[in-house]
Structure 1
Amino acid sequence: MARYDKGHRDATRPHIIDVASAQFRERGIAAVGLAGIMSAAGLTNGAFYTHFESKEDLVRAVLLDALERREQRHKDNLENGIALETTIRDYLSPRHRDHAGTGCPTAALASEIARHPKTTRDAFTAKMSDIIALMAAQMPDGTAAERRRRAMSVYATMVGALQLSRAVSDKQLSEEILENAVKAALALANGR
């Protein structure tokens, strides 16, 4: 049996999460098997259970990791004074549409997450609430409750539009969906 350098196990778990995250977002959770993830990660199937109890455990880890990264982007934007408009335009861009594997896990996986166990949905819910709160903090004017309501509407518009833009086969229609969603999200964000 080969021995690994100290720290190999600690580095392996995040690597498996990264590989699974890209595969889940590109192809869907149900369509991705553990054997494919481990092969792409350059590991044996048996090594999986050293790091995760089950595929569902991996799904939760992927969601938390991906949503924490997205949350950190929102925090960085807020701290650096980057306008919510920039976030909206970046999210609803052709680049984001065309790269689901590195994009928003919510747009890529929300319909599947709805069918997962409560513990997975609870983890997703907590992170979504954090992201909505950060978006609300970037909203101009209004009470905290009004800004939260608008942030929910903006995020729902962004996620839904991104999903639709990916689903249609007509490139021009896809572009129109993105462009019109930017306008709608900005109007919502500004309370119009």
Structure 2
Amino acid sequence: MRYKTGYKAQKRQELLSISGQLAKKNGFGATGVDGFMKAAGVTSGAFYSHFSSKNELFKALIENELQHSVHLWQKNPHHDVKAWVDFEIERYLSIDHVQQAEHGCILPALAAEISRAEHDIKSLYKKELLRGQQLFTKHLGNEALAWGLMSQLVGAILLARSMPDLETQESILKSSKYFIYQALEQYKNE
């Protein structure tokens, strides 16, 4: 059977998108190839026409998800540092991001799994994450401040997701916003 030009690339992208959502919601290691393919509505055999192994899917998923995150950060319409930071904080530290992991950032969802992964996966993760960190550095004018902001954003979402109630989740987000603004103000005054 012949497919239209671009069909395979489009199908691969669909598989990455659906697999990314499932991995961010349930964990990559906790989901088998059959689970990913069932969610995508294809057979496990179709998996191997796109990926040589589950490890290859993990790498492709990390690359795809981090490229998506960088793209979102690049789309921030503000150039003024404060407006840029405000936009990112409000977008990232939202209750929707806490409660809908499948539609959120890969960093709080899969960083723990990536930390236990093989060196090639960690290297790919580092390469893609550094692209985002460089964008934060460009806007904040300081590499350490960029790492600090990124870490606070990711950590706040991860901690809020571990709470069973909305009140505590919202408290964590509010406290994190306060902490970030205090840290940025202190840095500006140094």
TM-score (norm 1): 0.90
Ranges in structure 2 where 5+ consecutive residues have no aligned partner: none
- Pairwise CA RMSD: 1.6
Instruction: Tell me, yes or no, if the aligned pair for 1:84 and 1:135 is still in contact at 8 Å.
Output: no
Kindly report structure 1 stretches of 4+ aligned residues shifted beyond 2 Å. 2-8, 79-82, 186-190
Ranges in structure 1 where 5+ consecutive residues have no aligned partner: none
Match of 1:66 in 2: 65
Q: Deviations over 1:11-65 (max 9, x none)?
A: 1111110111000000001111111111121211111111111111111111111
CA distance in 2, matches of 1:31, 1:89: 31
Q: Deviations over 1:82-126 (max 9, x none)?
A: 511210121111011111001010010001110111111111111
Partner SS, residue 75 of structure 2:
helix
CA distance in 1, matches of 2:41, 2:84: 41
Aligned-pair identity (%) = 27
Match of 2:32 in 1: 33
Displacement of 1:172: 1.1
TM-score (norm 2): 0.90
Displacement of 1:80: 4.5
CA distance in 2, matches of 1:5, 1:44: 20
CA distance in 2, matches of 1:170, 1:92: 16
Match of 2:117 in 1: 116
Displacement of 1:3: 4.6
Match of 1:87 in 2: 88
Q: How does 1:36-55 map to 2 (within 5 A)?
A: 36-55=35-54
CA distance in 2, matches of 1:90, 1:183: 15
Count of matched residue positions in the alignment of Structure 1 and Structure 2: 184
